[in-house]
Amino acid sequence: MSKKQRHVFVYNKTKETFLAFRVKVADSILGRLVGLLGRRSLKPDSGVWIVPANAVHTIGMMFSFDLVLIDKNFRVVGLRELVHPFTITRPNFRAESVLELPAHSIFRSRTQIGDQLVVDRYEAKRPPKSGTAETVVQLPPQSSKLDLPRSSYADSKTR
């Protein structure tokens, strides 16, 4: 029986920027072991959150990515930009988990060591049940260009 994949978003509270919107949680033995292996790239605004971890290897990977090391209070304790394939990062013993993000995510979000992150579940808003009452706002129909009166300025230019 497989567990349903869970996703979170990662927000840099210090810089008020998002690092990623759809990060897969890898907290099982198999999920942590696999991580990004087998993928050809990472989609923008996605990633993998490996819990627990304080280092990663990229043996068998085909692309570079950014690595954010986080402590138990979700404070950034380490950054590795453009981690290349076939490398092993040094352990950071203050880190409790790591975020594997698309290349240049650290630069774009201006994330630095010491920044406070918010990691929260990603939940799409569920549509209301069909039997419940809901407020619907009716909008008047938009008029087409044919319904608009022509201005006298336009008339004088076309004649």
The pLDDT tens digits of the residues spanning 53-94 come to 999 988 888 889 999 999 999 999 999 999 999 999 999 999
Instruction: Tell me the C-alpha distance between 30 and 117, whole Å.
Output: 26
Residue 11 lies in a domain: no
Residue 47 lies in a domain: yes
Residue 78 lies in a domain: yes
Model confidence, pTM:
0.72
With b meaning 16 or more CB within 10 Å and e meaning fewer, what string describes 69-100?
Answer: bbbeebbbbbebbebeeeeebeebeebbbbbb
Percent of all residues in the chain with a pLDDT value above 90, rounded to a whole number = 50
Check pLDDT > 90 for residue 116: yes
For residues 10-17, average pLDDT: 95
Tokens representing 102? Answer: 């698309």
| CATH code of the domain in which 31 resides | 2.60.120.1140
Residue 115 lies in a domain: yes
pLDDT at residue 26, as a whole number: 87
As a whole number, the mean pLDDT across the chain is 81
| Lowest model confidence (mean pLDDT) among 111-115, 119-123, 141-145 | 141-145
Q: Which of the four pLDDT bands, split at 50, 70 and 90, describes residue 101?
A: very high
- Domain region containing 34: 25-121
Residue 88 lies in a domain: yes
pLDDT at residue 31, as a whole number: 73
Q: Which of the four pLDDT bands, split at 50, 70 and 90, describes residue 129?
A: low
Measured in residues, the chain has a length of 159
Residue 148 lies in a domain: no
Instruction: Tell me the C-alpha distance between 59 and 125, whole Å.
Output: 38
Residue 135 lies in a domain: no
Check pLDDT > 60 for residue 126: yes
Question: How many CB atoms are located within 10 Å of the residue 62 CB?
Answer: 13
For residues 139-143, average pLDDT: 57
Instruction: Tell me the C-alpha distance between 56 and 89, whole Å.
Output: 6
Residue 56 lies in a domain: yes
Check pLDDT > 90 for residue 35: no
Give the chain's domain count.
1
Q: Which amino acid is at 60?
A: G
Question: How many CB atoms are located within 10 Å of the residue 22 CB?
Answer: 14
